[in-house]
Each structure stands twice: as C-alpha cells, then as structure tokens.
Amino acid sequence: MKAKVILVVVWFVVLGSLSVQGQEFGNQVPIPFGDRPAQYILGSGDVLLISVNLWGHVRKPGIYNIPSNFGIIDLLSSAGGPLSSARLNDVRIIRKNQEVITVNIEEFIKTGNKDLLVPLQPGDVIIVSGSISDIFGRVVGFIRDVAIIVNVILLATRI
C-alpha cells in the first residue's frame, strides 16, 4: 500500500503542475477525507487548490484547479475571460448539493460591489450562458442551412 502511495506522490511531483494567472501550482497531492474523494489539492508552496468546472461562453472552458481563495472573477480571468456573447447577468453556480446560485457579474462590473460575488467551493460547476442574440443567431443560421438543403433538393428534382 505504501508503495502505491509513494508512486502516486512521485507521479504528481513529476507531472502534476498547473499555471493560473502566470503562477505555477505544481506538486499537487490530493488530501483524502475518509472514504470521500479528495476535495482539496495541495499545490506547491502549500497552496490549497480546489477543482471547479467552467462551462459555456468563455474563451477556455474546462476543469480548473484554482487556489481556494480565488473568486469567480479570478476564475473567469484564468479562462481568458467571457466571450462577447456571454450573458454576465445570469452566471449560474451549481453546487455539489444541487443548490443553484445565480451571480450577476454585470452588476458587479457596474458597481464594484463584491457582496454580489459568491465564494467558490470544491466541485462547483460554473455556467456562463449565452445572450438571447446568440441563441437567435444560431436558430437563424440553422433555418438558413435547412433552406439551402431544401433548395438544392428542389433544384435537383427539376433536372
């Protein structure tokens, strides 16, 4: 058993590294909590990292191991920021206990009120949805593509 633990630790020391906002968080070792999977990761310099998922209209969606003191603005910045089609007044955080929290980042940008921001927790899923104009554009594009296909079929049947 000790050999497996040592092998896992060596694996993380050699290959485990993360760069967030130009900072390197390497040597990641999961901290186990009994029979539950690890919720925190210990990075280099004893920085406590949490794993969160970022989906939707951001430049680089994915799984991020971020310092536990990072907020949603830090996470979005690490992901390259929101896309122009992002709806920042309706960013949702889904917690492990299935609680859904809506965060109005647009209001934070206008006022600077940090009370509008919710601290992130291990396992959070952050969803940045698209704007109505983005959805409308996709629907119109789909209808255009279908119309082109129907037109080609009608022209082909005339020949």
Q: Identify the residue with better confidence: 4 or 128.
A: 128
3-state class (DSSP) for residue 110: helix
Residue 159 confidence (pLDDT) above 90: no
Rounded mean pLDDT of 124-152? Answer: 91
In 3D, which of 98, 104, 95, 55 has the Cα closest to residue 75?
A: 55
Residue 23 and residue 83: Cα distance in Å, rounded?
A: 23
What's residue 40's pLDDT?
A: 67
What's residue 30's pLDDT?
A: 47
Q: Identify the residue with better confidence: 151 or 48.
A: 151
Q: What band does 138 get if pLDDT is binned at 50, 70 and 90? A: confident
**Domain count of the chain?**
1
CATH of the domain at 98: 3.10.560.10
pTM of the model: 0.62
What's residue 45's pLDDT?
A: 74
Residues spanned by the domain of 142 = 2-158
Q: Find the angle CA(106)-CA(53)-CA(55) to the nearest 5 degrees.
A: 55
Burial of 34 per CB tally in 10 Å (0-12, 13-18, 19+): exposed
Rounded mean pLDDT of 12-16? Answer: 42
